[in-house]
Structure 1
């Protein structure tokens, strides 16, 4: 069990999302960086989709009420267990009474969210097949809300033996993708793509886009050269999913994120491919990003590459956990 010691604005319990309910008007929720959550779970021998704590605002502190293994992935936050510094993307062991502190994100990865995983995952009830927090609907996760000081959370398997003291090369380094030093995201052109002027389409791919302060788990609002339609477009509301890039009348795109509503009526310029959503989920507010035009085959290949990386992590962890005690990492 752990106790939250911070009034942790927007820290929530998340798994890989509430799939299969969009047709009922229920959004997916889930970790903004699903790769970090899955990797943290694998480090502990959990199922990749077990629930963890997503932390987007710092500092953040928790106290371990009992001895417990844990893994930290995502942003490098200069973590400490009491006074001892901890490595990011690493598995650790805590003793009862110790305090874990996460500071401000640092390092060259430019990540913005940390993930804390416990043995067996965070033990909260499933709602519609997921333990993810859906704050708009106030259900799932821990009481359907963000965590706050005094909350107590249990690990599903706190006494399970977990070998710790090893970690991973972060995917931002293992699977780099940048243009001119900026995070680059692959995008499939959308249904209304050709309804925008050729100059706007070209500028979208060639230019930089800033993630504005009006961005959150529902959507990332971008600032750049406005995207101009060939003619005004008025559409009926239609189904959308995380990653869809909509363009309101201002011409400044909005990328739908994990807590997005499942329908909308703005024109769809494109969709950030599923394999790159973790990169976007880690992009800090105020940072600049670039886009790469891609096709269906490339999108499928990118997803296979992401799954191959996770499979490699699972094999490495299995070998490390099965090695005799005292063997070299």
Structure 2
């Protein structure tokens, strides 16, 4: 069971549009506690907390005025990084008003977390089978 006593810790691999932020922005991003806003829904969360400063640039032709409207982003929004898939269930348990913090990890750590999360269902089945085969059980 996840521990929700403090802010939810969500691991992130820095990338995608990480090159578009100022040098101090990643540290500020990872040091900030972020609060889930009422704008969160089943598709995505919006969080409030700190500020990420973007490197000024000229918009590509046809991209419009919104910096989120460019083709070199993940899913239409400029993204400083990507959640580790193993933490999506933790993120999914947060609700409006809950606090989260993002923790930078390497790709190797993210892949290891994915393997560990993938092994959990088999371990749970094994534990159930072991209990049902114990003394006095049929």
Using structure 2 for the length normalisation, give the TM-score.
0.79
Q: Contact (CA 8 Å) 2:13, 2:83: kept in 1 or not?
A: yes
Aligned to 1:265: 76
Aligned to 1:135: none
Q: Contact (CA 8 Å) 1:235, 1:267: kept in 2 or not?
A: no
1:278 deviates by 0.5
For 2:16 and 2:58, the matched residues in 1 are separated by: 12
For 1:207 and 1:185, the matched residues in 2 are separated by: 12
Q: String of CA shifts for 1:68-110, please: whole Å, max 9, x gaps.
A: xxxxxxxxxxxxxxxxxxxxxxxxxxxxxxxxxxxxxxxxxxx
- Higher-strand-fraction structure: 1
Aligned to 1:296: 107
Query: What is the number of equivalent residue pairs in this alignment?
Result: 128
- Higher-helix-fraction structure: 2
Root-mean-square deviation (CA), in Å?
2.6
Partner of 1:227, secondary structure, is: coil
2:43 to 218, 226, 234: 218
Aligned to 1:286: 97
1:319 deviates by 2.0
Cα pair distance change 1:267/1:209, threshold 3 Å: same
For 1:211 and 1:233, the matched residues in 2 are separated by: 31
Runs of 4+ that moved beyond 6 A: none
Q: Contact (CA 8 Å) 2:21, 2:52: kept in 1 or not?
A: yes
Structure 1 portions without partners, runs of 5+: 1-169, 237-247, 251-262
Map 1:1-329 onto structure 2 (within 5 A).
170=1, 172=2, 181-232=6-57, 234=59, 264-323=75-134, 327=137
For 1:190 and 1:228, the matched residues in 2 are separated by: 15
Higher relative contact order (CA 8 A, sep 6+): 2
Cα pair distance change 1:233/1:297, threshold 3 Å: farther
Structure 2 portions without partners, runs of 5+: 69-73
Q: Contact (CA 8 Å) 1:235, 1:265: kept in 2 or not?
A: no
For 1:214 and 1:181, the matched residues in 2 are separated by: 22
Using structure 1 for the length normalisation, give the TM-score.
0.35
Aligned to 2:71: none
For 2:130 and 2:58, the matched residues in 1 are separated by: 56
For 2:124 and 2:13, the matched residues in 1 are separated by: 28
For 1:193 and 1:314, the matched residues in 2 are separated by: 40
